Structure formats: structure tokens, C-alpha cells
């Protein structure tokens, strides 16, 4: 949502071409589709691998670009847990952790209280809903694998942490990838409001979370480190 807002602020009349939801165009298009999809696993409210494969075919033929935005997987896991918890338990659509908790201390208190729920979610379960029908969520190892696959396959991969450090630089990369004529001094690009590397503070405060990280599969740890992140 942050990157989408940056686009809308800076593309002028072309913002009408920005649409939420994944679509496949086998011919060149000016439209920018924003959404979630998976490459290998099925997951709730994400376009399936079949759709992603068609996007990759369009990219290979030169008819589309695939731009992937990501952040530290453990920060993503915490944000996803809070987002789905609010959505399924309270029917609230939130922008991020700060929409629910005033500070990290409040988040830690809730996480400690509901840690078994968090572990179930990280394992791919759906602990928030009694409805057992439909697709579940990606497990954390699956999520990390999907992130790795997208980084390898994207025309351009952008890290949220880099937007936090220099949003104009990252937005300029994005515009170049979509062949949009931009002038960096004129760009409006505030850094993201979300807190980067929040997981480190939580790791210090909650022993169960430290154990969760320590017990991650070696393959998952290696993939995270391959992305340039530490644990």
C-alpha cells in the first residue's frame, strides 16, 4: 500500500492505470496491477501459481514487468499475524501494526499472551477462525521460499528497508523499470511509517520468540541470509 501511494502521488494522470488485484495481460499494457500471488504454494487470498506463471510468461516475452516489494520476513510474519487477526476476529481492515498497537511493548504483551496462536499461524494454520473450509495460509518456511523465488524471478526487487533509508532513490528505480520519465528532485517520497526490524526488539523481550527463530529450519535461515538479512 505504501508503494502504491507513492505511485499515485507521482504519476499524475497516469494514476488511473493503477489497479488493485493481479491481472494477466499477454499484450503490452500501461496498467499497473498491485496485489499478492504465489509461485509454488496455494494460499488464502493470493492469486495461485497458475496466474503467477502466466505473468512470468508475459515478462519473458517482453510484454510485462514484474516488480517485487519485500521486507525482512520476520517483520512480514509479525505484520501478517496482526493483520489477519484483526481482519478475521474483529472484521477490521488495518494498514499495519501501528494501527493496532501504540508501541512495540503493547505488541509484545499481546504476542506473549497469544503465542500459541502465533505459532499456529506461522505453521500455516488459521487459528483465528472456526471455519475450516477454504485455503489456509503459507507457513513461514513456505513464505520465505516464495520470497526467494520472487526475488530471483522479478524484473526488479525492492526492499522496504531501502525505501526507509532513501525513498526517492528506490522510487526512481521503480520508475525506470516501468519506463516512466521522472525527475528525482521533483518526486514526493516520504519514507514508510512502518518500523523496520521490529522483530529484533521483540526477540530481546520474548524468550518464546527467540526460540522460534532459533528453531527455524536451516534451509529457511539460509534463504533469509541469502536475501541479505540477519536473524
Query: Per the domain annotation, does 84 fall within a domain?
Result: yes
Co-location of 126 and 204 in the same domain: yes
Domain co-membership, 17 together with 103: no
Q: How far is CA 145 from CA 20, 69, 149, in A?
A: 24, 15, 6
Residue 130 predicted with pLDDT over 70: no
Cell numbers 514508510 label which residue? Answer: 192
Chain segment 9-49, per-residue pLDDT in tens = 998 888 999 999 988 877 888 889 999 999 999 998 899 99
Is pLDDT larger for residue 225 or for residue 26? 225
CA atoms of 56 and 71, how far apart (whole Å): 22
Domain presence at residue 146? no
Angle between helices 140-153 and 218-226 (to 10 degrees): 30
Domain contains 56: yes
Please calculate the CA angle 97-99-103 and round it to the nearest 5 degrees: 60
Does one domain contain both 132 and 45?
no
H-run or E-run covering 147: helix 140-153
| CA nearest to 44, candidates 159, 156, 125 | 125
Q: Is the pLDDT of residue 132 over 60?
A: no
Q: Is the pLDDT of residue 131 over 60?
A: no
State the Cα–Cα distance between residues 128 and 89, nearest whole angstrom: 6
Which pLDDT score, from 0 to 100, does residue 134 have?
Answer: 64
Give the DSSP H/E element, type plus range, for residue 18.
strand 18-20
108, containing H or E segment: helix 104-113
- Domain span at residue 213 reads 73-138+195-226
For residues 8 and 48, state if they share a domain: yes
Mean pLDDT of the chain: 92
Do 204 and 113 share a domain, yes or no?
yes
Is residue 110 in a domain? yes
Question: What is the grid cell recorded at 140?
Answer: 513461514
pLDDT in tens, 49-72: 999 999 999 999 988 899 999 999
Q: Find residue 34's DSSP bridge partners.
A: 20
Quick check: is 231 in a domain?
no
Amino acid at each position: 500500500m505504501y508503494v502504491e501511494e507513492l505511485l499515485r502521488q507521482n504519476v499524475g494522470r497516469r494514476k488511473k492505470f493503477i489497479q488493485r488485484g493481479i491481472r494477466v495481460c499477454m499484450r503490452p499494457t500501461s496498467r499497473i496491477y498491485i496485489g499478492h500471488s504465489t509461485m509454488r504454494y496455494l494460499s488464502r487470498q493470493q492469486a495461485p501459481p497458475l496466474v503467477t506463471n502466466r505473468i512470468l510468461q508475459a515478462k519473458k516475452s517482453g510484454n510485462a514487468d514484474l516488480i517485487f516489494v519485500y521486507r525482512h520476513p520476520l517483520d512480514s510474519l509479525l505484520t501478517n499475524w496482526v493483520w489477519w487477526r484483526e481482519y478475521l476476529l474483529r472484521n477490521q481492515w488495518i494498514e499495519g501494526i501501528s494501527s493496532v498497537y501504540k508501541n512495540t511493548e503493547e505488541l509484545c504483551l499481546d504476542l506473549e499472551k497469544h503465542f500459541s496462536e502465533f505459532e499456529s499461524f506461522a505453521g500455516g494454520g488459521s487459528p483465528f477462525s472456526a471455519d475450516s473450509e477454504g485455503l489456509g495460509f503459507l507457513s513461514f518456511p513456505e513464505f520465505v521460499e516464495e520470497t526467494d523465488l520472487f526475488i530471483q524471478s522479478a524484473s526488479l526487487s525492492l526492499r522496504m528497508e531501502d525505501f526507509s533509508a532513501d525513498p526517492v532513490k528506490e522510487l526512481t528505480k521503480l520508475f525506470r523499470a516501468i519506463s516512466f520519465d521522472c525527475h528525482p528532485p521533483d518526486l514526493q517520497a516520504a519514507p514508510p511509517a512502518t518500523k523496520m526490524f521490529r522483530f529484533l526488539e521483540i526477540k530481546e523481550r520474548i524468550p518464546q520468540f527467540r526460540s522460534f527463530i532459533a528453531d527455524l529450519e536451516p534451509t529457511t535461515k539460509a534463504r533469509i541470509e541469502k536475501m541479505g538479512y540477519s536473524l
